[in-house]
Every structure is written in C-alpha cells, then in structure tokens.
Amino acid sequence: MVSTNNLKNGMTLLIDGKLQQIVDWNHHKPGKGGAVVRTKLKEVETGKVVEKTFRAGEDVEQAIVERSTVQFLYRDGDDYVLMNNDTYEQQNAPAPAIGEAADYLVEGDELQIQMYAGRIVGVELPASKVLEITYTEPGVAGNTATSATKPATLETGKEVQVPLFIEQGEKIKVDTRTGAYISRA
C-alpha cells in the first residue's frame, strides 16, 4: 500500500483489479474541504487513459511490476519465444501479450518487457526502428508537387506509407509509437 501523498509518475497501481500506471498527478487543496489528488492513469493492458481523484492521504495498492530485457528468438505458431538476457531462460509469450510491438519485431531484437504475477503485461520498444522494405510499387517520377506517399510492406509484414522515391529493398527508419515513416536508414 502507498499513500496518495507519495504518488509519482510511472508508478503502477492495482485499482479495481486492473493494473494502472500513473501518467500525471496533481495535489489540489480547495478553499474549503479536504485536499485531493487528481491523477491520470493509463491501463497497462489496454492503454486506455482514465482520470481518477483520490482523497489526500488515502492508501492505494501499489503493484510491483518487474522489468527485464529479453531477446526475441522466433515465432512458434501464435506464440513468441523470448529469452531472458540475464538467465538465458526461454519463455513463450502469447500474441496478445506482445500486442502492437509484434509489427516491429525481427528475430534477434532486444526489448523490455513488464511482468506482473508471472505474466507479461507490457512491452517497450525503442522509439524508432530500422526495417527493410520487402515490397512497394515503383514511384512515378514528376508527381512530387505535394508530399505524395505510397504503401510499402516491411520485413515484419506491417504496411506503412512512404515517399514516392523509396524503393523495394531499402532500409527505412519507422516510428514505433505511430507507425510513421521517419527517414531512410
């Protein structure tokens, strides 16, 4: 248990049976009545952001989330086989636990995972990733008065929009948070 007076950004709480990470908090003392702590909480598993107000000094349950660095080895059916870099222990992670991070995973990649009660509740990737384009249509020269784009399929199977001058086989840098093209690599 932790007091609402001691909350910090990034702390993970267990509220109503759901893991919620503090995005922002504010201690507020109105003119009359007791002080309150207003928080913005992000549900760890769904990513949904909710606002919740607590009384100052109220106790809430803190969830201890373990973070570790793992290496993605290969896919085994719908599961992802991960190896802990410290213990070399392998574990299977179901596709829903990996979530959207699967769109950017290539065999051999390292990533940060968050575990609670023996299960993966979150995956953290670097902000950008260099990936190779496996398929895209050839660009049409001359039609570049605007910032025209075309679809391109990455080596992971994800499709992104790229400028017309990008060709098949090139490596590009992609923003893993938005899925947007950043630059050539």
The pair phi, psi for residue 110, each rounded to 5°, is -100, 145
- pLDDT for the residue numbered 40: 92
Measure the CA–CA gap between 154 and 149, rounded to whole angstroms: 15
pLDDT digits (tens, 9 = 90+) for 129-156: 889 989 988 876 665 556 778 888 988 8
DSSP character at residue 120: E
What is this structure's pTM?
0.69
Domains of the chain: 2-60 (2.30.30.30), 66-124 (2.40.50.140), 128-184 (2.40.50.140)
